[in-house]
């Protein structure tokens, strides 16, 4: 029996000719990732090994992004643990204030992940790097500690669901709408501990930003990872970001999948996930009058330059509703700089929005946009669990940057078509 893309990558990193679903393997790692929330736990475990050097200071990446710049004393202490460790271990890829960005946007931008890599990170959205044809998955902090010491990780080989994409997206529809559509269809546990593998001629119509968004939210369907086969667009992206030489793995013709799901991209409309689960999706044909209090455009899911451009197209020449707070968060310093040079930040500020330094901030209810009791937010983030962005009686509606920007203008949950085709 043949292997899927994921199984081929895992076999190569375990030094095996083949692997099968359910098999336990010890795999060599190309990249390890920690942040200011998860890394301190790993570092404390690592230090129990007696101060030994890490297996490879070039293969470990530490990004301070969740509460940075530090919001309080506890956050500052967390970051101090990371700073001291990275200094002592001479970690090459350490990203602090002024250099940092939201980790899952930063690593591909810095060329630290390439096709065929095996990446683990102590953050659930590490699955983002499947967009470039890598196997990447989130792990616990103790797994990160073991990996930093040995360069290896124990993994169970996942089975897979194949998603065959057809057609092209409609205007104002993006990868966020695609993944919300899929999660709404299969549920938040529909791909539990399975690989979500995306293929078909429709993949070629997706931008890299679309693919990063889709892979990023594979975990919201319970998946072990999401992955796209590296095509010409992927390889061009990797070259542009000076990534290491890619290794392209393609699924065998006789690879075994648990199921195959066909997706017609052209049939997907703007889609919103209502509280309090990403699977609670609706289209605007099903949405009534929902007033909102806040809009957040950013996160590891939708803080890339393409996302900011989509929001700016709608906000240009328009004003945010007076009753709505609008927060725009470029995902990295480079994206911030590029957006400034393109005039996007001016558009946001003139519309009445604020622009933040790169940070995860409000996505996890950290800071920079906490919700009060009864407040509603439209956010381009990835989770809308109870209390995710603040008070347990607040509500988060997950949407694309275009939907978020349109809602900012009207003061209620709105489609981009409504705003672009009106006199607002």
Q: What is the pLDDT of residues 347-362, one digit of tens each?
A: 999 999 999 999 999 9
The last residue of a domain, from among 265, 285, 309: 265
pLDDT at position 421 = 82
Same domain, residue pair 358 and 294: yes
Question: Does 423 have pLDDT greater than 90?
Answer: no
Mean of per-residue pLDDT scores for the chain: 96
Q: Span 45-69, mean pLDDT?
A: 93
Residues above pLDDT 90, as percent of the chain? 96
Same domain, residue pair 204 and 191: yes
Same domain, residue pair 42 and 113: yes
Same domain, residue pair 142 and 242: yes
Please, which pLDDT band fits residue 11 given cuts at 50, 70 and 90?
Answer: very high
pLDDT at position 235 = 97
Same domain, residue pair 241 and 309: no
Same domain, residue pair 261 and 274: no
Beta strands in 251-346 (DSSP E): 259-264, 271-273, 281-283, 294-297, 325-328
To 10 degrees, the CA torsion angle through 395, 397, 403, 407? -10
Question: Does 51 have pLDDT greater than 80?
Answer: no
The last residue of a domain, from among 265, 287, 309: 265
**Domain limits for position 413:** 270-420
pLDDT at position 1 = 75
pLDDT at position 107 = 98
Contact 93, 64 (CB under 8 A): no
Same domain, residue pair 333 and 414: yes
Same domain, residue pair 243 and 274: no
- The CATH number of the domain where 355 resides is what? 3.30.499.10
Count structural domains, the chain.
2
Contact 151, 408 (CB under 8 A): no
Beta strands in 66-173 (DSSP E): 93-95, 118-121, 135-138, 152-156, 159-166
Comparison of pLDDT for 230 and 423, the residue scoring more:
230
pTM of the model as a whole: 0.95
Helices (H) and strands (E) counted in the chain, each on its own, are 14, 18
Question: Does 383 have pLDDT greater than 80?
Answer: yes
CA 269, CA 302: separation in Å to the nearest integer? 18
The last residue of a domain, from among 244, 265, 286: 265
Give the residues across from 271 on adjacent strands: 283
Same domain, residue pair 342 and 392: yes
Mind giving me the DSSP string for 199-240? ESGGGGGS-HHHHHHHHHGGGGGT-SEEEE---HHHHHHHHH
Same domain, residue pair 277 and 376: yes
Question: Does 419 have pLDDT greater than 90?
Answer: no
pLDDT at position 424 = 60
Q: Quote the tokens at residue 217.
A: 């939210």
Same domain, residue pair 322 and 248: no
List pLDDT tens digits, range 93-115.
999 999 989 999 999 999 999 99
Q: Is the dihedral of CA 394, 174, 67, 69 positive or negative?
A: negative
To 10 degrees, the CA torsion angle through 15, 103, 143, 388? -130
């Amino acid at each position: 029996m043949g292997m899927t893309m994921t199984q081929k990558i895992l076999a190569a990193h375990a030094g095996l000719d083949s692997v099968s679903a359910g098999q336990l393997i010890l795999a060599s790692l190309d990249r390890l990732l920690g942040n200011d929330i998860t890394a301190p736990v790993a570092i404390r475990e690592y230090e129990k090994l007696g101060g030994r050097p890490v297996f490879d200071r070039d293969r470990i990446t530490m990004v301070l992004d969740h509460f940075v710049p530090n919001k309080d004393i506890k956050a500052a202490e967390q970051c101090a643990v990371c700073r001291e460790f990275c200094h002592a271990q001479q970690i090459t890829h350490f990203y602090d204030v002024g250099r940092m960005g939201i980790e899952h946007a930063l690593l591909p931008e810095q060329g630290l992940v390439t096709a065929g890599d095996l990446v683990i990170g102590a953050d659930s959205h590490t699955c983002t790097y499947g967009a470039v044809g890598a196997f990447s998955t989130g792990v616990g902090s103790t797994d990160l500690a073991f990996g930093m010491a040995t360069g290896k990780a124990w993994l169970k080989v996942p089975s897979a669901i194949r998603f065959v994409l057809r057609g092209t997206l409609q205007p104002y529809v993006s990868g966020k709408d695609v993944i919300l559509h899929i999660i709404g269809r299969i549920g938040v546990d529909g791909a539990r501990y399975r690989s979500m593998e995306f293929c078909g001629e429709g993949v070629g119509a997706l931008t890299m930003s679309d693919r990063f968004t889709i892979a990023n939210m594979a975990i919201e369907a319970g998946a072990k990872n999401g992955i796209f086969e590296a095509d010409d667009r992927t390889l061009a992206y990797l070259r542009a970001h000076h990534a290491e030489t890619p290794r392209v793995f393609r699924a065998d013709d006789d690879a075994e999948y648990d199921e195959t799901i066909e997706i017609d991209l052209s049939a997907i409309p703007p889609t919103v996930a209502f509280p309090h689960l990403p699977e609670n999706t609706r289209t605007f044909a099903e949405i009534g009058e929902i007033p909102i209090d806040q809009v957040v455009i950013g996160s590891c899911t939708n803080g890339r330059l393409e996302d900011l451009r989509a929001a700016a197209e709608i906000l240009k020449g328009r004003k945010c509703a007076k009753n709505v707070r609008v927060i725009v968060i470029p995902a990295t310093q480079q994206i911030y700089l590029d957006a400034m040079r393109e005039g996007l930040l001016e558009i946001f500020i003139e519309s009445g929005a604020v622009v933040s330094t790169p940070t995860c901030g409000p996505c996890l209810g950290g800071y920079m946009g906490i919700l009060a009791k009864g407040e509603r937010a439209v956010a381009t983030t990835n989770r809308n669990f109870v209390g995710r962005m603040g008070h347990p009686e607040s509500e988060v509606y997950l949407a694309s940057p275009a939907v978020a920007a349109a809602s900012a203008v009207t003061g209620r949950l709105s489609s981009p078509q409504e705003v672009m085709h009106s006199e607002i």
